[in-house]
Structure 1
Amino acid sequence: MKIDIFTEMQSPRPWSKDHEHRIIMETLEQAKLADSLGYGCWWQVEHHTAEEFSYSSAPEIMLAAISQHTKTMRLGHSSVLAPFRFNHPIRTAERAAFLDHLSGGRLELGLARSTIPEWRTFNIPPDRTRAQMQQAFEMLPKMWTQERFSWKSEEIDIQNVPIVPKPYQKPHPPLWQACSSVASFEQAGRNGVGALGVTLWAPREQVQEWIGIYREAIRRCERPVGEFINDQVAFFTFVHCAETDKQAMENGAAEAAAWYTNGSFTFFEAKESFLRTYAEEQALLNDPAGGGLTGQFLRERANRSPATTRAQSIIARIMQGEDVPSQEVFDGLSEQDSLIVGSPETCRQKMKVYQDLGIDRLLCFQQVARLPHEAVMSSIRQIGKLIPEFDRP
């Protein structure tokens, strides 16, 4: 299992006068340290108008800067928001190719649909987001490998144009898809691209099911969107390592986990997102044609009636507007192994759980909420010492 690192670039209130400059410079410092310690890849998210929750609004620029201060660590754009009003596919292809050259061929590129508030800000019809992301997946490898490119669909008409430059990596960088539902894991596998998921609120059994859907879909993949199949599953979760379990809690780990949980559900308008996902799943469940692997899985899950975990009950309370104490949120998530927090030995044991699930890349989300920069740097060092135990030839 590769050990990677993931960042949102968070800056909660109260703010100092230089908080924006500071979070950018601290991110660069953290990336340089991660590179020196042997982390596999630095993954930079894309969000807009997220304020406290994420200052990573121009990840391609942040990654370009990081590329000039690192040597071996790969650079993951996780993920380009694919609907066309966010990023036209030509611009995505151009920027990615430039970044691949600047980094000496270290780019990994993911695509995502984004979420309700960002769709609203950019005036994007939600019902077209999955189809537009699918088109982007099919277009990008052709733009990177064909001398001239053409494409015609309902939203885009491109006629015989050269896309320059071409990527440094041949035939092109590995492709990934951000996944948060059963349908998206199936889509990633069907496309032959890597799956980027999150375990922070999912019990182990659910993660295992997602991985199973992805593996089966990619096993059946006969026409990958790219020139090769990227058969990898990656998950990110909150990671904070300190000298002792007690020190990790004194650093503010419980408060950070609760702040991120509440912030995610607020920014992403989680209640509405869950309802939209539920509606999509119901359509697949009732599809006369069967709904593919996702429809089959949903019917099997309905027959099982899986038990609700304490963490899921807590999340439901948060979505109803209840102010759940930080320690209770942390305990619920920790109980289902959704967090990796504690001493090096505690973190080692929890990381082994992820390895046993069959995850190929663990994205350690370490700069979270109000955790001090010094504590984040120390955590990056402590996890760095564990990398050789997991990332073996």
Structure 2
Amino acid sequence: MKLDMFTEIQDPRPWEEGHEHLRITQAMEQARLADELGYGCWWQVEHHGAEEFSLSSAPEIMLAALSQTTSRMRLGHAAVLAPGRLNHPIRIAERAAMLDHLSGGRVELGLTRSTPPEWRLFGVDPAEVREQTAEAFRMIPRMWTDERFSWHSPHYDITDVPVLPKPYQNPHPPLWQAASSPSSFEQAGRNGVGVLGTTVWTAMDEVRRSIDLYRAAVRACESPAGTLVNDQVAFFTFVHCADTDEEAIRNGAASAAAWYTAKALTFFEAQEGFLESARHQEKLLAQPDGGGLAGAYLRAEAAAGTAPSDAQLVIGRILGGEEVPADEIYEALNSQHSLIIGSPETCREKLRAYADLGVDRLMCFQQVGGLPHGQVMKSIRLIGGLIEEFDV
């Protein structure tokens, strides 16, 4: 299992003069350290209008800067917002190919359909996002490999266009899909692209089932989106390492986890997201084939009748408008082993659990909430000391 880095460039209040510049330069410093220590990839998100939750509104520029100040680790979009009004597929292909040249062939490209607040901001029709994201996966590899590109659909009308430059990597950078539901894990597998998931709020057993679903879908892949199948599983979770478990908590790890949970659920408008996902799952189960692998997954979950976890109950309370104490949020998440917080020994044990599940890349989310930069840098160093043990 490779250990990667994942960043939102978070900028929590209270703000002081120059706070944005400080956070961005700190992220650059964290990336340079990660490169020196041998982390596998630096994954940069894309969000718009996220305020203190994320400054990463132009990841392609951040990654271009990192391409000139790092030399070893790969540079990943996790992930580009794929609906056309946010990022036209031609622009995605052009930018990623140029970054591939600037980095000497170190690009990993993830795509996602984005979230309701960003759809509203850019005037995206929610009814079209799944189809447009699916089209982008098919269009972009062809733009990279065909001398001239044509595509005709209700969303795009492109005739005989040379899309340049072509990527430095041959045949093209690995493709990834962000996933948060059974159907998206299956879609990633059937597309033959890597899957990007999160374990921050997900119990280990659910992670295992999601991986099994993805692996089964990859085996059934008959027409990969790209030239090659990228059958890798990557998950991100909150990671904070200190000399002792007690020091990790004193550093503010519990409050950072709680802050992130509350901010993420608010920014992503998770309640509406859950409802939209439920509607999609109902349509999936009503399909003549029963919804494929994802449908079978959902029926097995329903048959098991598993009671809601402490984390799910806490999330429900937050969505209901309740201000849940930080310690309570942290304990609910930590009880299901979805966070990696503590001493190097504790973190090693928790990392091993993910490796044993078959995770190929663990994306370490270390700059979270109000954790001081110095403590984040120390955590990056301590986790970096475990890289050789897992990357075998």
- The TM-score, its normalising length taken from structure 1, stands at 0.99
Aligned to 1:115: 115
1:359 aligns with 2:359: yes
Per-residue CA distance 1:153-191 (angstroms, 9 max, x = gap): 001000001001000000000000000100100000000
Alpha-carbon contact 1:2-1:391 (below 8 Å) kept: yes
SS in 1 for 2:16: coil
Aligned to 2:140: 140
Name the aligned partner's letter for residue 245 of structure 1: D
Provide the rounded CA distance (Å) in 1 between the counterparts of 2:288 and 2:77.
38
Per-residue CA distance 1:76-128 (angstroms, 9 max, x = gap): 01101000000000000000000000000000000000011101111111111
SS in 1 for 2:294: helix
Name the aligned partner's letter for residue 340 of structure 2: I
Alpha-carbon contact 1:242-1:344 (below 8 Å) kept: yes
Aligned to 2:303: 303
How far residue 47 of structure 1 moved from its aligned partner, in angstroms, is 0.2
Name the aligned partner's letter for residue 79 of structure 2: S
Aligned to 1:220: 220
SS in 2 for 1:109: strand
1:59 aligns with 2:59: yes
Provide the rounded CA distance (Å) in 1 between the counterparts of 2:317 and 2:51.
24
Name the aligned partner's letter for residue 21 of structure 2: H
Per-residue CA distance 1:26-59 (angstroms, 9 max, x = gap): 0100000000000000000000010100000000
Aligned to 1:21: 21
Name the aligned partner's letter for residue 23 of structure 1: R
1:83 aligns with 2:83: yes
Aligned to 1:251: 251
How far residue 288 of structure 1 moved from its aligned partner, in angstroms, is 2.8
Provide the rounded CA distance (Å) in 2 between the counterparts of 1:283 and 1:161.
37
Provide the rounded CA distance (Å) in 2 between the counterparts of 1:373 and 1:351.
23
Provide the rounded CA distance (Å) in 2 between the counterparts of 1:288 and 1:216.
20
Aligned to 2:198: 198
SS in 2 for 1:216: helix
Name the aligned partner's letter for residue 53 of structure 1: F
Provide the rounded CA distance (Å) in 1 between the counterparts of 2:356 and 2:306.
21
Identity across matched positions, percent: 63
Aligned to 1:276: 276
- Of residues 301-310 and 347-356 in structure 1, the stretch that sits farther from structure 2 once superposed is 301-310
Aligned to 1:239: 239
Provide the rounded CA distance (Å) in 2 between the counterparts of 1:293 and 1:167.
34
Number of residue equivalences: 392
1:388 aligns with 2:388: yes
Alpha-carbon contact 1:287-1:295 (below 8 Å) kept: no
Provide the rounded CA distance (Å) in 2 between the counterparts of 1:34 and 1:247.
22
Alpha-carbon contact 1:59-1:77 (below 8 Å) kept: yes
Provide the rounded CA distance (Å) in 2 between the counterparts of 1:212 and 1:129.
26
SS in 2 for 1:150: strand
Name the aligned partner's letter for residue 247 of structure 1: E
Name the aligned partner's letter for residue 150 of structure 2: S
How far residue 307 of structure 1 moved from its aligned partner, in angstroms, is 2.4
1:153 aligns with 2:153: yes
- Of residues 304-313 and 31-40 in structure 1, the stretch that sits farther from structure 2 once superposed is 304-313
Name the aligned partner's letter for residue 309 of structure 1: S
Alpha-carbon contact 1:236-1:365 (below 8 Å) kept: yes
Aligned to 1:335: 335
SS in 1 for 2:110: strand
Alpha-carbon contact 1:208-1:357 (below 8 Å) kept: yes
Provide the rounded CA distance (Å) in 2 between the counterparts of 1:284 and 1:302.
14
1:317 aligns with 2:317: yes
Q: Gapped runs of 5+ residues in structure 2?
A: none
Name the aligned partner's letter for residue 53 of structure 2: F
Name the aligned partner's letter for residue 207 of structure 2: V
Provide the rounded CA distance (Å) in 1 between the counterparts of 2:391 and 2:229.
21
Aligned to 2:172: 172
Provide the rounded CA distance (Å) in 2 between the counterparts of 1:280 and 1:310.
25
- Of residues 87-96 and 277-286 in structure 1, the stretch that sits farther from structure 2 once superposed is 277-286
SS in 1 for 2:386: helix
1:292 aligns with 2:292: yes
1:350 aligns with 2:387: no
Alpha-carbon contact 1:60-1:95 (below 8 Å) kept: yes
How far residue 356 of structure 1 moved from its aligned partner, in angstroms, is 1.1
How far residue 292 of structure 1 moved from its aligned partner, in angstroms, is 1.2
Provide the rounded CA distance (Å) in 2 between the counterparts of 1:279 and 1:139.
28
Provide the rounded CA distance (Å) in 2 between the counterparts of 1:21 and 1:4.
24
SS in 1 for 2:48: coil
- Of residues 161-170 and 286-295 in structure 1, the stretch that sits farther from structure 2 once superposed is 286-295
How far residue 311 of structure 1 moved from its aligned partner, in angstroms, is 1.2
SS in 2 for 1:56: coil
Name the aligned partner's letter for residue 372 of structure 1: P
SS in 2 for 1:177: strand
How far residue 243 of structure 1 moved from its aligned partner, in angstroms, is 0.7
SS in 1 for 2:257: helix
Name the aligned partner's letter for residue 38 of structure 1: G
Aligned to 1:186: 186
- Of residues 298-307 and 67-76 in structure 1, the stretch that sits farther from structure 2 once superposed is 298-307
Aligned to 1:368: 368
How far residue 286 of structure 1 moved from its aligned partner, in angstroms, is 2.3
Per-residue CA distance 1:251-287 (angstroms, 9 max, x = gap): 1000000000000000001111001101111111222
1:124 aligns with 2:157: no
Q: Gapped runs of 5+ residues in structure 1?
A: none
